[in-house]
Structure 1
Amino acid sequence: MIYDSMTDVIGNTPLVRMNPSVTGLCNIDLYAKLEMLNPFGSVKDRAAWSMAQPGLDDAAAGDRTMIELSSGNTAKALAVIAGMHGVRFRSVTNRMKVPEIKDLLLLLGADIEELPGQAECLDVTDTDDPLARIHRAVSEPGSGYFHTDQYFNDRNVQSHMDGTGPEIVADLGGAPDHFIACVGTAGSSTGVAAALRAVDSGVHVLGLVAAKSDFIPGIRNIDEVHEVGLFDPETYDEIEAVSADEAIDGMLDLVRRCGMLAGPTGGAAYFGALRHLAKVDSQLEGSGRRESAVFIVCDRVESYMSYVRTRRPELLKQPPRTHDVRNLDDQDLAAADVVDAAEARAWIGQERPTVIDLRGGFAFAAAHIEGSINIVDEVFAELLHGGLPVGADQPVLLVCPVGERSLRYSALMRRMGHRDVRSLSGGVIAWRDAGAPLVRGSGVGR
């Protein structure tokens, strides 16, 4: 089979029937749509090509830089496509959490601009969010940028309405009874669901998100998902959460038992699919009915070895991490000391605790509590891995964007023997909303 361009190879990915002896499903045929076999390695190849194609010639002729708010598979695919057409590419993000992806983007010649943001994805309604300011700037005429705009570009959805969905229907000879999709930009889940329901309006669509305060590459957590411009809750019959550990468990099954070198997103989709379909399977028992279901294997495992090493070191024959927030239980979290903005201000005035801001450096520079020190989340985790970073009697106030990560670190420090550590409830956002002063890079408080 001969092609004229790598972009011609995008799409027409295989649909593989999962072995019932592995899935344990007796009355449901479960199929994996192997989007990991797209030429640049992920389901995002489709949307990237669809969004980039209309503006590539103008971008090249006008020496414009392609820009996207992404640090993952969309950025990777766009960087490749831009390079093929002689166009520069810049990734703007506050979520560069997977080192392998960052290294690959740099290898591809991409510019990476890491900015602060109050959420992990774009919220254009928040005028204080730097990512929202970038979105407005690059969208202005004459900006010198070609903005592919994955969070709001309908071509993201259309690529799956025209491609992924119809391919599933053609391979199955009709629409499946169930479609299970992880929700990132919501492009693939929305587009595939629309294509399947155009054939059979009764298709049941399950959307999967990451558990609260958890991180699974490529998936929004249950709080973030409502900030995504393409997300429409009406697309999904149900939305369920999957934890990072469950995603890795699902990934292990795909890698070790199914021969699919899937990443954690595919693992989350598989785990969520089996958990949901097991209930349906039992209801079908004895009915004489047989149903079908499809989930998407989004990308490959090789880009996520550091993710696995950090969360499940034993899988790579490394010793387990000590003093890890992932080992906390409900009792630990319940014992954590939480203070609101007013209480925190009074405590700072009276006791002078060490205020540790866990946000990224750019966010800290943009606005922080006066006198606080900046120790980025991931660095603080490494410090705790070796023991308490401050004396056990030194009062400490932990601060993060919305109070979730600081709560977990506060609980961990208390379990490690710290006597007076507190978490700011609602984080910097609650502090700001309470009218409490913030110091900006210029030294001017608010």
Structure 2
Amino acid sequence: MVINQESEVFKSITTLGKYVGNTPLYEIQHLSPKPKVKIYAKMEWMQFGGSVKTRPAYQIIKAALESGELGTGKTLLDASSGNTGLAYATICARLGIPVTICLPENASWERKKLLKGLGVNIVYTSKFGSSDESEAKAHEMYNNEPDKYFLANQYNNENNWKAHYEGTGPEIFEELGDSITHFMTGLGTTGSFTGISKYLKERDPSIQTIGLQPDGALHGLEGWKDMETAKVPGIYDTSLVDAIKHVDTYDAYDMLKETAKKEGILLSPSSAANLKGAIDLANEIEEGVIVTLFPDNAEKYSEIIKSLF
């Protein structure tokens, strides 16, 4: 059933749009290795829901309400390593929509606690199966009860990358314009990489777009995928990839400490990994403007932070 545009649910989702996106673009001041190489990062935790995943979660939910896929009485169902699940939960709590998330057992305890606090029904999957096993479980549950669930399917939902094509990409280009020489970010669902890269290349085909991956299948960068061994998301557009670079988990942890000391920002491991990738690239070029993302900060990673400081 299509949600009436005069209904309270539709009014609420429309109002929430004011709090999605428009995050600050932060210039790295003390860690860029060369004076003619500038590094900028979008501080994505500074929006409703607290991470970069708010953007696709909002767009997926809004589109599903408009189409009627997420009709009255249905539960939103998806797989998540944590941040998308929190974004769904935060938005749906305001809308009165129940949420079920298939989550790997090794997600941080903060994420589990927050999801439970937001009323999410968590279905745990093996810590050895990563997000791929969680995705398979979500599909199994949907296939068993299709009338009960709206399967958000973030790894294959076009609204994932469109959220970044319509939001994050334009925000970056509006601020930096033709000065941008490189964009790079970690590959997970690949929505942010695909959407932003597509937008930037349409504005300036000379911009180099680089995907970042962990340096192996066993890593500590929550939300990232090793594309050689993991299931590749359906929304991943390889034609947009100019290069792939790898980041070691422990190098990312070292970068997390450096950023805290020299920039005054406590980042999440994946944000620190993005910055590590950008600094590695800065060492390879003589001048340019590199843009990356800080998907979230350190608030949900106290176990890691305690071990590092």
- Please give the range of the TM-score, normalised by the shorter of the 2 chains: 0.7 to 0.9
The residue aligned with 1:101 is 111
Rate the CA distance shift 1:78–1:299 in 2: closer, same or farther, 3 A. Answer: same
Higher mean C-alpha deviation, range 260-269 or range 223-232: 223-232
Rounded to whole Å, the distance in 2 between the matches of 1:112 and 1:267 is 28
- 2:298 and 2:305 in contact (8 A); partners too: no
Shift of 1:109: 0.7
Question: Aligned match of 1:73 in 53, 72, 83?
Answer: 83
Larger radius of gyration: 1
The alignment yields a C-alpha RMSD, in angstroms, of 2.3
Please point out which of 54, 68, 81 is paired with 1:45.
54
- Provide structure 2 residue ranges, at least 5 long, that are not aligned to the other structure: 1-13
Closer, same or farther: CA 131–178 of 1 in aligned 2, 3 Å: closer
Compared CA separation, residues 190 and 5, structure 1 to 2 (3 A): same
- Quick one: distance in 1 between partners of 2:254 and 2:240? 27
2:290 partner SS = strand
Which residue does 2:297 correspond to in 1?
300
Equivalent pair of 1:157/1:190 in contact (CA under 8 Å):
yes
How many percent of aligned residue pairs carry the same amino acid? 28
TM-score (norm 2): 0.87
Which one of the candidate residues 224, 233, 241 is aligned to 2:238? Answer: 233
Q: Cα distance, 1:140 vs. partner?
A: 7.7
Ranked by relative contact order (alpha carbons within 8 Å, sequence separation 6 or more), the top structure is 2
Distance 1:271 1:226, change over 3 A: same
Q: Are the structure 2 counterparts of residues 175 and 45 from structure 1 closer, same or farther at C-alpha, using a change threshold of 3 Å?
A: farther
Query: Gaps (5+ residues) in structure 1?
Result: 123-128, 282-289, 317-446
- Aligned match for 1:167, one of 162, 167, 171: 171
1:264 counterpart = 2:269: yes
Matched ranges for 1:28-427 at <5 A: 28-56=37-65, 58=68, 62-116=72-126, 119-122=129-132, 131-132=135-136, 134-135=138-139, 137-138=141-142, 142-174=146-178, 176-212=180-216, 213-281=218-286, 290-309=287-306, 313=307, 315-316=308-309
Deviations 1:264-306 (A, max 9, x none): 111000011101221112xxxxxxxx42110101101010111
Q: Using a 3 Å threshold, how does the CA distance of structure 1 residues 185 and 249 change in structure 2: closer, same or farther?
A: same
Encode CA deviations 1:102-161: one digit per residue, 9 max, x unaligned.
Answer: 111001110100134874233xxxxxx684354155268843101111000000000000
Q: Which amino acid aligns with 2:246?
A: A
Structure 2: distance between partners of 1:256 and 1:179? 25
2:35 to 15, 26, 48: 26
- Partner-residue secondary structure (3-state), 2:285: helix
Deviations 1:349-397 (A, max 9, x none): xxxxxxxxxxxxxxxxxxxxxxxxxxxxxxxxxxxxxxxxxxxxxxxxx
What is the alpha-carbon distance in structure 2 between the residues aligned to residue 261 and residue 200 of structure 1?
32
Give deviations 1:194-233, integer Å, cap 9, x for gaps.
0000011111112111121212112113534553222233
The residue matched to 2:58 in structure 1 has which SS? helix
What TM-score results when the alignment is normalised by the length of structure 1? 0.62
The CA distance in 2 between the partners of 1:145 and 1:223, in whole Å, is 31
Paired residue secondary structure (2:178): coil
The offset of 1:60, in angstroms, is 7.2
Between the aligned partners of 1:71 and 1:293, the Cα distance in structure 2 is 27
Take 2:134 and 2:297, find their aligned partners in 1: how far apart are those partners? 31
Deviation at residue 24 of structure 1 after TM alignment: 1.9
Residue 191 of structure 1: CA displacement? 0.4
Q: From the superposition, tell whether residues 272 and 70 of structure 1 become closer, same or farther in structure 2 (CA, over 3 Å).
A: same
Deviates more, 1:177-186 or 1:54-63: 54-63
Aligned residues: 294
Preserved CA contact (<8 Å) 2:54 2:87: yes
Deviation at 1:15, TM superposition (A): 1.1
Deviates more, 1:299-308 or 1:53-62: 53-62
| Cα deviation, residue 98, structure 1 | 1.0
Given that 1:115 and 1:131 are in contact with CA atoms closer than 8 Å, whether structure 2 keeps it comes out as: no
Structure 2 vs 1, CA of residues 155 and 101 (structure 1 numbering), >3 Å: closer, same or farther? same
- 3-state DSSP of counterpart to 1:36: coil
Offset, 1:95? 5.0
In structure 2, do the counterparts of structure 1 residues 224 and 100 end up closer, same or farther at CA, with 3 Å as the change threshold?
farther
